[in-house]
A and B are shown apart, each in its own frame.
Chain A
Amino acid sequence: MKKILFWIIVMLFIISPVGILILQSFTSPGSWTEFSLYGWRGLFETARLLEATGTSLIIGFFVTVINIAVGMSAGKALALYTFQGKTAVDTLFVMPLLVPILAITFGVHIAMIRIGLADTALGVILIHLVPTAPYSIRIFRNGYVSLGRRMQEQAETLGASAGRTFFDIELPLLKPSVQSVIFLTFVISLSQYVITSIIGGGTVVTLAMVYFPFLDSADTTLIAAFSIWFAVLPLLFYITAGAAFRLLPYPRKSGRRELF
């Protein structure tokens, strides 16, 4: 009974809205039944779209890499060490989520112009760190808390170097945290319109920058395809990142039990 109620609610408020977008993107304009690739063809024929997709992927990639580095190191410090001022540091790391992003972006803008970062992809990457890094620090902190110290201590006792401990123990065991960070960071980076437009100054054209003016057109089929594209990209990015993770030289011989 409860299960039915659950799926009714999910169907009504999540699946059908998304379903409408998918349906609209695959039917001809004005019709709900006639299959057509008009929307998707139109989308990929928009020259700016492919370019913007590339820009978004590059920016998202660097934002994600920096997030993993920053989040992993800070998460480890917060989870496994006690030190003076820990509570203060902890609170400071939540702060970027509580300050309106426009306050930060307005303030940073002039400095970015002065040092030549305004209107560049690097400037956009830096400003995208603000709404993402606090989450990454948190996710890695929780990851390291549940990992604990013992595994690493064991490796150290057995004489492993810091690098060996990291690649053979921490990284594989933190895989779920890494995956969450990759996914969340990329989705958030892709969603930034106003800060990208201020810092990128219209020169750095990400997908969000193309989508916004697109909404003024009345072509609902095209917009539907574009909207779905926003969900497809993070999934593609995530799958690619997962494949890259598999390239890491961890023992996967048959007969040996895998950790995950």
Chain B
Amino acid sequence: MKLSARIKPWLLLTPALLFLLLPLYGLWSAFRLSVYPDGKLTGQVYVRLFSHSDFLLSFLYSLWVAAASTFLSLLIGWFFTRAFVPMLERTGGRLTVWLPMVFPHFVWAYLVLLLFQEGGLVSGLLPGNRAYANDPEGIGIILTYMGKEIPFVILMLLPVYLTRNRLYDDLTETLGGSWFSKIRDAELPFVTPVLIETGIIIFAFTFGAYEVPALVGATFPEMLSILTFDWFYSGDWSERPLAFAAMVFLTTVIGVISLLLFHFINKMRRNITEGL
């Protein structure tokens, strides 16, 4: 009985652990192919990668697009949620706000093209008549991601606002707290862990996703995913190891950032349960 109780959770976890083999193997294999490009262990590929001017530019450009998309989606999604909890509590309001999630990213990218490209439906109305799709600043990509990710942020945050203990609001108010201190003391401690977790997921996704920049990105500069995809399928195979190395490097960067932030969340969760 005792033994079976100890084995039971692991039996239940077996299918999921088997599934994990796939991404783990993929990542390991990409790493192996980046350090053993010709069957010999070498760091040569990474030296080539970091001295590649296209790579550095693409990396920084992707960092900018991912950071801006994440930050704006979180900020707008958060303020929208906290401002409109009563409307979001109703099924109709909630489902309408979540509607963009039904469409694939590339459909939303097409919408941005339709509205913001040169001669698009909205770009003609904007001052200066300029296009915000296929633009070198990446505004088209950021707009697409915001359209898709703000509903996702609302999806993740809404449960927090629906189940949150509202006595903290009254407490700050009774103690004469301002609008700002109400957010800081009564909301932020509960919202921050969810915001950070959601932010990491969006950041990791937008940093490496292919579909949206392939449609609304500029020809120059290119997002990292586009560049590595071209390397992966380049005719002469000599650039394939670069594709593996670039993706391994990107994974490392996202991994380090997530670890630091998860550490921060855990510390905060401890403060909430033990400190307050």
Contacts and interface: CB of A to CB of B under 8 A. Distances in A.
B87 interface: yes
Interface in B166-213: 200-201, 204-205, 207-211
B57 interface: no
Contacts of A91: 262
B141 interface: no
A51 B257 CA distance: 43
B83 interface: yes
Nearest to B228: A102
Contact of A104 (B30, B201, B204): B30
A234 B102 contact: yes
B26 A193 contact: no
B13 A74 contact: yes
Contact of A227 (B10, B23, B30, B110): B110
A231 B114 CA distance: 18
Contacts of B121: 20
A260 interface: no
B53 interface: no
B33 to A, nearest CB: 7
Given A10-B96, A106-B232, A98 B200 contact: yes
A100 B254 contact: yes
A220 B208 CA distance: 29
A3 B93 CA distance: 10
Interface secondary structure of A, over-half rule: helix
Interface residues on B, range: 35 or more
Interface in A78-111: 78, 81, 83, 89, 91-93, 95-108, 110-111
B12 A130 contact: no
Given A99-B254, A223-B110, A104 B13 contact: no
Interface stretch (A42-50, A208-216, A239-247, A251-259): A208-216
Nearest to B248: A103
Interface stretch (A11-19, A33-41, A147-155, A168-176): A11-19
A190 B12 contact: no
Given A108-B22, A130-B23, A14 B247 contact: no
B255 A73 contact: no
A138 to B, nearest CB: 10
B97 A10 contact: yes
B84 interface: yes
Interface string B107-140: 1001101110000010000000000000000000
Interface secondary structure of B, over-half rule: helix
B270 interface: no
B275 interface: no
B247 A100 contact: yes
Given A96-B23, A108-B22, A234-B102, A83 B84 contact: no
Which residue, of B16, B86, B107, B232, has the highest number of chain A Cβ atoms within 10 A?
Answer: B16
Given A107-B244, A193-B211, A70 B16 contact: yes
B250 interface: yes
B217 to A, nearest CB: 13
A160 interface: no
A120 interface: no
B207 A99 contact: no
Interface string B1-23: 00000101110111111011011
A205 interface: no
Which residue, of B15, B201, B207, B232, has the highest number of chain A Cβ atoms within 10 A?
Answer: B15
Given A95-B20, A230-B107, 7 more contacts: A20-B115, A70-B15, A77-B12, A98-B200, A99-B23, A99-B251, A215-B113
16 contacts: A10-B96, A13-B147, A15-B96, A73-B13, A74-B12, A91-B262, A102-B210, A102-B232, A104-B22, A104-B26, A133-B16, A191-B105, A211-B106, A215-B113, A227-B110, A227-B111
